[in-house]
Structure formats: structure tokens, C-alpha cells
Structure 1
Amino acid sequence: MQDIVALVQDPAAWVALVTLVVMEVVLGIDNLIFISILTNKLPPESREHARKIGIGLALVMRLALLGTVAWIVQLTNPIFEAFGHGFSWKDLILIAGGLFLVWKATKEIHHSVDVDDHKEDLVGAGKEVLKMSFASAIGQILLLDLVFSIDSIITAVGMTPHLPIMVVAVVAAVTVMLIAATPLANFIEKNPTIVMLALAFLLMIGGTLIVEGFGVHVPKGYIYAAMAFSAAVEALNMFAKNARKKKAGGGTTLH
């Protein structure tokens, strides 16, 4: 209890907490985009439930991993060497997660472009198939939660040695994800071009995880700057499109 009081009274601890919360929220964007795209493929009545389960599992997993911080840190120790690089369990997890993201994003892009292929997926989608789809969605969310959670916890350990600060930061970040999940998913669903942009983001994130697994450090600032620039360009396109629609509609309704 005295340690908690000391942390509350320490300005450096508050700075570390705010910094870590911001970083955890930013790192959670990747996970949130994936969850939004995946749950939008479920029946409408199941989507929000799946998002809550997926994000809730992310919270449980991260808190559980925080309880094994000493073991998590050991995941960065090399276990074998190949191509002049010592691979650790963290590297292997990042590579596997990156490959999964690249495969999933590529598959979703193919479904978005090939309308006939997408229709085939919907044929015979009875109640049993929908249940399997829900279970499959949760399973895939859980798999990516594991990859992002380990990366998130290792980042947190590198920023502060205080476990209470890590716990508060993780809970705050996951809470933000929970609040933003449904609005983001609805926005993505209503704007098809955003879906393709989000899938491109997942491809880039997957590629980044793979190269980082091979020991090539990619500054996250470059990745998120590119994502922000692309999102800003798409926002301008959407504003221009809406302006043209309003102008055309206004021209026909004026007397």
C-alpha cells in the first residue's frame, strides 16, 4: 500500500502513466482495426457481442501476461540463430502474427474485389454456419490479441518498472478500445473505401511485424504517420464526394 501511495505522489510516475496510456492506445489501433473488419462479417445482431468478447479477452490476456512479467521478458532471449540473427520467442510470435495478418488482409481484399467469391461464402449460411463464423471470429481475434498483447506488455516493461502503472495503462487503453470499437466498425461498414484502406493498413502492419521478427527495427512513428496521411487523404476524398452530392442535390431542389 505504501508503494502505491509513493507512486501517486511521484510526478515522474504520472508522466510515465500518461505516456504509457497514449502508447498503449496507439498500439491498440492495429488490434481495433482488425476486430472491426472481422466482426463486420458477422450477422448484425452478433457483431457488438463479438467485439465485447474479443476486447474483453484482450484485457484478460494482457492482465494475465502482466502477472508473468518475468517470463515475458525472457521471451526476448535468443533461442537459436539463423541468417546471422538470433531468434527469440518474441521474434517467432511476431513473424507468425505478421504472416497471419498478411494472409487475412489479402484474403479479405480478394473477397472485397471478387463479388462472386463473396457471394459463394454467403450461400447456405444457416444458423449452424453463423455459429461457426462467430466462433471463428473470436478465435482469430484471440490469436491476434496474443500477438499484440505480448508486444504491448514488452513495450510497457521497457517504459516503466512499476506493475501498477502498467495495469492502469492497460485497463485505460482497453477501455478506450471498447468505447471506440462499435463507432469505428460502423464507420468502416458505411464507407467501402475505408474498408480497403483499413485492409491496406493491416497488410502494412503485418509486414512490419514480420521484418521486426527478423531483427529489422521499424520506428512506429513512420508507420502511424503513413496511416494518418492516408486516412487524411481519404477523408478529403470523402468530404469532396459529399460536397458534390450536396451540390447536385441542392441544384435539383431549388425553386
Structure 2
Amino acid sequence: MEQLLTLDSLFTLFMLVLLQAVLGFDNLLYISLESQKAPKDKQSYVRKMGVGLAIILRIVLLFVLLQLIQYFQNPFLSMHSNTIVEFDLTGHSLIVLAGGIFIIYTAVKEIWHMMLMKEHEKVEGAQSKKSVKSVVTWIVVMNLVFSFDSILSAMALTSDMDYMPQLILMTIAIVLGGLLMIVMADKVSDFLQKNKMYEVLGLFILFIVGIMLLSEGGHLAKLKFFGNDVEQMSKATFYFVIITLVIIDIVQGRYQKNLLAKKAAQDKAIEEKQEASDF
């Protein structure tokens, strides 16, 4: 216990919570969008329940990874004789790849429905009937997919600590990070519901999250196509792309607003001119 009460341990705890918050942004966006598929009066409950269950399962996952980390990192399926594709598939890489594929599928499906307005109205009605249990389940599953990176990074930050203090410190960080995610998920979801135009931006960011997970999973699996390595998208690149998308969206929104105002002014001038000519 003495190791937990040192200034160094408290700073490490702060860094762990910060790490959970930074790495959890993409997860937060998914939770906010996925929860909208539940009935409106149940959406806040779905987010809290989903993240709450995920916190418990994250702690279980942390314990499992501390005990069996080598089984997640060692390859269980390899291919090197093929000139087209080569890989060393691990449990970690398989989970990340599956998560990336699912998120890209979800983002593309929602974007497609938005493009087809009539279809979107039907789907929107169908989504409102989606069961609370189903939405909570997907939030928990994807939360665990996103957990791998944050837990493994946290393990690297606390690698110099003894087993028990390391477990306790990381558990506290997971709980605090989860509580922060519950609060922020409600705020992000409310913002998206009040500003529907930003939902498109959110889906494209989610699409980039899927690409990032695919690149990460390919890198972990040492995936090669025609002898070329799959490189992992860095977090710096990811956040740069997000900032660029947000700036483009803001500029385009302002420009569109100015065009509409200009058109309204022109229409008003034409009407006034016609009224004057009538007299």
C-alpha cells in the first residue's frame, strides 16, 4: 500500500486517467451514436448501463491480460509463403481488426441511409424500436475492443510497479475514466441530437476510427500486401485529420449560411422591385 501513496504513484494515476480520456475519444463517439438507436427515453440509461457494464468487464480484461498477456501477443496463425499476403495473426490483432471492420460497416451503413432520405425515414423508425438490450450489448462489446489499447498502454506506464499496486492503480484509473465517459457521452449525444448536421461529421470521424483500427490491427498482425507492410495510423495523424474535418465543416457551414443569406437578400430585392413596378 505504501507504493500507492507516493507522489510518483499519484502522478502515474493522473496520467492513466488522462490516457483513458484521450484514447477513449473514439469509443465515446461510438457510444453517443449507437445509443441513439434505442428509444429516446432510454438513451441515457443505455449509455450509463453500457459503460457501467464495460467498466466491470474492463477490470476483468485487465486481470486476464496481466495473467495471460503472452497468449494475446503470440501468433496463432501465420502465412509467409504467399507472395500476395503475409501475416502473423495474434489474439490482440484479430480483435482490433474485427472492431475496425465492424465500425467501418456501421459508419458506411448510416452514411448511406442519410443519403437516401426516404430509406432513412424507414430505417430511423426501425432503429427507434431496437431493443435496449441489443444496444447495451454492442456498446459493451465495442468498449472492450477499444479497451485493449488503453489497457496495454497503461500496463506499459506501470510496468515498474509490483503486481498488486499495478492492478489497484489501473483499476482506479479504469473506474474514473469510465465515470468520465458516462458524463461526456451524455453531453456528446445531446449535442449531436440538437445539431443534426454534425451527425454526418461524427459518422465520417467514426469511419476514420475504423480505418485507424484496421491499420493498427494490420500492423499488430505484421500484415504485408505484395511485400509492403501495413503501417499503423498514429494518434497524432488521427487527431490532425479530425481537426481538419471539423475546420472544413465549420468553414463550409459558415459559407453555406452566407450564400443562403445572400440569396434571401437577392430574392427580397427582386420582390421589392416587382412590387415597385406594379405601382
Fold shared, TM-score > 0.5 on shorter chain: yes
Q: How big is the shift at 1:61?
A: 1.2
Question: Which residue does the alignment assign to 1:208?
Answer: 212
Cα distance between partner residues in 2 of 1:74 and 1:12: 31
Q: How big is the shift at 1:150?
A: 2.2
Counterpart check, 1:71 vs 2:86: no
Q: Tell me which structure has the larger Cα radius of gyration.
A: 2
4+ runs deviating over 6 angstroms: 239-246
Residues 77 and 90, structure 2, Cα contact 8 Å, conserved in 1: yes
Residues 113 and 123, structure 2, Cα contact 8 Å, conserved in 1: no
Cα distance between partner residues in 1 of 2:43 and 2:28: 13
Cα distance between partner residues in 2 of 1:193 and 1:21: 31
Question: Which residue does the alignment assign to 1:8?
Answer: 5
Question: Which residue does the alignment assign to 2:274?
Answer: none
Q: Among the aligned pairs, what percent are the same residue? A: 29
Unaligned runs of 5+ in 2: 80-84, 160-165, 220-230, 265-279
Counterpart check, 1:227 vs 2:229: no
Q: How big is the shift at 1:240?
A: 7.5
Q: How big is the shift at 1:140?
A: 1.7
Q: 1:127-164 deviations in whole A, cap 9, x for unaligned?
A: xx82x432221222122112112222122112213222
- In structure 2, the CA distance between the partners of 1:26 and 1:243, relative to structure 1 (3 Å rule), is farther
Which stretch of structure 1 is more off in the superposition, 228-237 or 198-207?
Answer: 228-237
Counterpart check, 1:176 vs 2:186: no
Counterpart check, 1:28 vs 2:43: no
Cα distance between partner residues in 1 of 2:40 and 2:104: 26
Count of residues in correspondence between the two structures: 241
**Secondary structure of 1:81 counterpart:** strand
Counterpart check, 1:136 vs 2:134: yes
Structure 2 counterparts to residues 89-128 of structure 1, below 5 A: 89-122=91-124
- In structure 2, the CA distance between the partners of 1:235 and 1:154, relative to structure 1 (3 Å rule), is same
Cα distance between partner residues in 2 of 1:152 and 1:55: 15
Q: How big is the shift at 1:239?
A: 6.9
Q: How big is the shift at 1:181?
A: 1.2
Residues 21 and 181, structure 2, Cα contact 8 Å, conserved in 1: yes
Q: How big is the shift at 1:75?
A: 0.6
Question: Which residue does the alignment assign to 1:84?
Answer: 86
TM-score by length of 2: 0.77
Structure 2 counterparts to residues 37-48 of structure 1, below 5 A: 37-48=33-44
Whose RCO is larger (CA < 8 A, sep 6+)? 1
**Secondary structure of 1:117 counterpart:** helix
